[in-house]
Structure 1
Amino acid sequence: MTEQVRWSPAGVDLDLPSSARIYDYLLGGGHNFAADRAVGEALAEVLPVRDMARLNRSYLRRVVLALVEAGVTQFLDLGSGIPTVGNVHEVAQDANPKCRVVYVDIEPVAVTHAELLLAANPDATVILADLRDPDAVVNAPETRLLLDFSRPVGLLAVGVLQFVPDADRPRDVLARYRDLLAPGSYLALSHFTPDRMPREMAAGADIFQHTAEPITPRTRAEVLALVDGFDLVEPGLVFTPEWRPESPDDVPADPGRANLYAVVGRKP
């Protein structure tokens, strides 16, 4: 109970692992509980999850910089997670101080710490919301205050859609976001896949069954279907370290061990 009194929101179940807090742990963060750390260690026994997390975070930085370079100054970050070094607003506003960012997460710990981090930043905010309800996310007062949906937006769904089961129709969810975005907007996503390490990913999925958000890893074809209606930008759908690496040395000998596909599309 000491952990909860010190820094976590009231009502958070310390014994139910959360994907946001597990990711925070794998990235070396400090906003996680014993149950989250136990799942992280169990995952590390079957998958290279620390490398997966690191490569995914690096992809997020590169894609934000690429979108800023393409002229995007507004970002909507779905499933943004717990604030760690290299958040979207830090990367984007360092490249262009005019950038505005709205973070969206369903995890109270993530939202609480984002609120603290962003308290002095008028051009970034966070909302507690379910990404599966695009209209509620887009029409939230905080979102409307910062983002102008008559202009291009960078929609980020990085490492989050595997937590949306098929029954919740993630393809339709993204299609609705697409309809709400102006032409020239971008969708950037990354997603767990079983294609490279099927047995290991199946074991990881079994571990996630005992958390607040079970996962649905998806194949290459299934991930491509999520970006229907967007024009893919180079290099298309690849593993995370292969998406516009800053140096050939940044691509490991076996990029497929990243176990996450990365893809960016532009709304025509």
Structure 2
Amino acid sequence: MTRVKPQVDTSTSHPARVYDCLLGGKDNYPVDQAVADALPRGSAEHARQNRAFMHRAVGWLAHEGIDQFLDIGTGIPTEPNLHQIVQDITPRARVVYTDNDPIVLRHAEALLISRPEGATDYVEADVRDPEAVVGHARGLLDLTRPVGLSLIGLLHFLPDEDDPYTIVRTLVGALPAGSYLVLSQAASDIAPPEFARKGAEEYEKGGIPIQGRTGEEFRRFFDGLDLVDPGIVPVPEWTRDAPAHPVADIYLYGAVARVP
């Protein structure tokens, strides 16, 4: 399939490129670097801990037998990527990546290098059109079988006016019983007010709306689902395989839940 060369708007910052900058990547522009540089101290460690949470969560799902994944808000490839984590455990795993930043499409080839037994695909789509995302995912995934759905570090870029609860319900509603939902979200009730204020202010200066949520607000995304232990916790504390080693001053909630 021939992919159309994407047009990247380098005059406006984008969450995927700011995240790449925080992780020490090179696939970003001055507008993104300006946002990253102005964020509160510790923001880069938040990005690293968020990614480490993703590694642990999807690795656990693969060990549990999940061999299909839909990753929304993929971001710019940073090894190990989700498919590398899960295919190391289950080589036949199939992964669909989705993002709405054209620069991610430029790196799609890196995301599509699957183990021979498995498969990967990339879709340029916006989570605010969940039906379209699901429609594209059906091209690779069998939605009659359990799927691991991940939205890592994405929800806080969906303010309430985007109706994120309905978006998540729509995505989960397309999945069969035995599927899992993996989420992380900026935590407004454990972050110091100055940290939260400055973070929101700097993102908004870059044209990126952001909204932290309390633990109870975050829990609403899991209504009707079965939370997996340890439940809703700061992302460094989410682990299934070993005692957690808390990392101080990380203001991101993470959780995994099973679709009953």
Name the TM-score class by shorter chain: over 0.9
Unaligned runs of at least 5 residues, structure 1:
1-8
- Hey, what's the Cα distance between the residues in 1 that align with 2:64 and 2:231? 16
**1:1-268 matches, cutoff 5 A:** 11-43=7-39, 46-113=40-107, 115-121=108-114, 123-140=119-136, 143-196=137-190, 197-244=192-239, 248=243, 250-252=245-247, 254=248, 257-268=249-260
Given that 2:6 and 2:102 are in contact with CA atoms closer than 8 Å, whether structure 1 keeps it comes out as no
State the shift of 1:249 in Å. Answer: 7.3
- Hey, what's the Cα distance between the residues in 2 that align with 1:65 and 1:111? 25
The alignment covers a number of residue pairs equal to 252
* Misfit runs of 4+, over 6 Å: none
Identity %: 41
TM-score by length of 2: 0.92
1:63-100 residue CA offsets vs partner (Å, 9 max, x unmatched):
01111111100000010111011110010111110111
State the shift of 1:36 in Å. Answer: 0.9
1:175-200 residue CA offsets vs partner (Å, 9 max, x unmatched):
11121100000000000012222221
Given that 2:112 and 2:119 are in contact with CA atoms closer than 8 Å, whether structure 1 keeps it comes out as no
For residue 184 of structure 2, what is the amino acid of its counterpart? S
* CA distance 1:19–1:203, shift in 2 (3 Å): same
- Hey, what's the Cα distance between the residues in 1 that align with 2:156 and 2:132? 21
- Hey, what's the Cα distance between the residues in 1 that align with 2:94 and 2:244? 32
State the shift of 1:241 in Å. Answer: 0.3
Point out the structure with the larger helix share.
Answer: 1
1:217-241 residue CA offsets vs partner (Å, 9 max, x unmatched):
1111110011112110000000000
State the shift of 1:108 in Å. Answer: 0.5
3-state SS of the aligned residue for 1:183? coil
Unaligned runs of at least 5 residues, structure 2:
none
For residue 267 of structure 1, what is the amino acid of its counterpart? V
| Aligned alpha-carbon RMSD (Å) | 1.6
